[in-house]
Structure 1
């Protein structure tokens, strides 16, 4: 007998062979873990986007910085102008200060004759007589050089009872703040006959009376270079009120230091 061996499994759909497509392209999708692929795609797309965003932000910052630079340039020009004006004012102020200081220096070197003559009268001993006082010009140290003492000096001529009286008079003068003690000296001292008083003559009987002898002297001194602002007490004692008042007014304004 014949037995039929029939395989019915081949008739099931799962075992049916799909017909092959001719002339087409078969696309096979990768299988397995797809994360690296997704990451690569994200990176490939994200980097251009980030670069674009970064470039846009950078352009904004550049525009902002350019605006600040322009603003700073304008501010710098304004400050340069103000600095120039301040330097000009400073130069003018220094010039005015220099002129003022020069005037103050000249003013501070004033020696009022009234005060100096009163000081000489107060210091003249009883046995000394002053005939005349004259001012001597400043002594120039060298050609083209300013004088060592612009105030000049004094020359005092007169009569004294003796040489000791002349020496005492010199010592008293050296104590005066209106004169330089180191430059006060006796130029001449000579014995002479005392001059007759006005209206007194020799007797007519032929008798000649010889007058007593006295010392004719010449004392020379230089005026002190101490500023007048430091001689306020001496000037007040000698009655020089006007000069003292002006000096104190300038001290209050700060032109002359106290």
Structure 2
């Protein structure tokens, strides 16, 4: 008879062999809270993308700034050219103003002889005669320096009936606005025989008539250096209409101050 020997212990779970996995190492997936994993993955993908976008924006901004710099350079060159032209015009304007002011200064120092002679006629006493009027050139106090009074002065010579008449003439001249009162003075006075009247001869009776004695004088004075624009009333009174008209025209346009 045959007998069956069956081992039922091998069929128990404890004795079951686990099947072998092919491929070597086994991959175990993490379990539990996966948030850090997702955050890491997002950062790994997002940061390069953000850097790329930032680099692209930066390059665009650089190109824009380079265009603005080039435009500003062109504008700067244009403004430099305009500033150069303005400086040139300014220099020319200053030169013209200087020439105009020099011309106005000379014009404003004009003393019309017609006005001055009329002023002398109005001031000379009845007992005084003028033989000669001479203009004295300005004299520099220090050599090489411009004179204090570029207008110069006058020297008047003539005859008077007495010394008092000469003094009266001097006082009258000191009131003139065309002359400097402090620099008007008598230089010389002397008694001389009065000159013979033209056409009058000595009588044939043999009696010699002695001519009366008169005072021969010399008076000097400096011309007033006050601008002619400040003597408009005096010039009008003496009939100097042309000069007054020119001065008032220049005052209207502002070349000479009122």
Please give the TM-score of this superposition, normalised by the length of structure 1.
Answer: 0.89
Query: Cα 1:23–1:194, aligned 2, differ >3 Å: closer, same or farther?
Result: closer
Structure 1 residue 141: Cα displacement: 2.4
Corresponding residue for 2:88? 88
Question: SS of the counterpart of 2:164?
Answer: helix
Correspondence list, 1:1-258, <5 A:
19-258=19-258
- Listed as ranges, the gaps of 5+ residues in structure 2 are 1-7
Q: Report the more deviating stretch, 193-202 or 146-155.
A: 193-202
- How many residue pairs end up in the alignment? 249
SS at match of 1:91: helix
3-state SS of 1:37 partner: helix
Q: Distance in 2 between matches of 1:17 and 1:92?
A: 115
- The DSSP-based 3-state class of the residue aligned with 2:54 is helix
Measured on the aligned residues, the alpha-carbon RMSD in Å equals 2.1
Instruction: Tell me the distance in 2 between the aligned counterparts of 1:39 and 1:23.
Output: 31
Structure 1: any 5+ residue segments left out of the alignment?
1-5
Q: How far apart are residue 22 of structure 1 and its match?
A: 4.3
Deviations 1:192-233 (A, max 9, x none): 222232222333333333332221100011111111111111
Runs of 4+ with deviation above 4 angstroms:
none
Give how far 1:57 is off: 0.8
Deviation at 1:24, TM superposition (A): 3.0
Of the structure 1 ranges 117-126 and 202-211, higher mean CA displacement relative to structure 2 is found in 202-211
Aligned to 2:4: none
When residues 215 and 30 of structure 1 are mapped into structure 2, their CA distance, relative to the original with a 3 A threshold, is: same
* Structure 1 pair 53–198 and aligned structure 2 pair: CA distance change class (3 A): same
CA distance in 1 between counterparts of 2:22 and 2:112 reads 137
- Give distance in 1, aligned partners of 2:93 and 2:131: 50
Distance change (3 Å), C-alpha of 1:101 and 1:23: closer
Q: 1:23 to 1:76 in 2, by over 3 A?
A: closer
Secondary structure of 1:57's match? helix
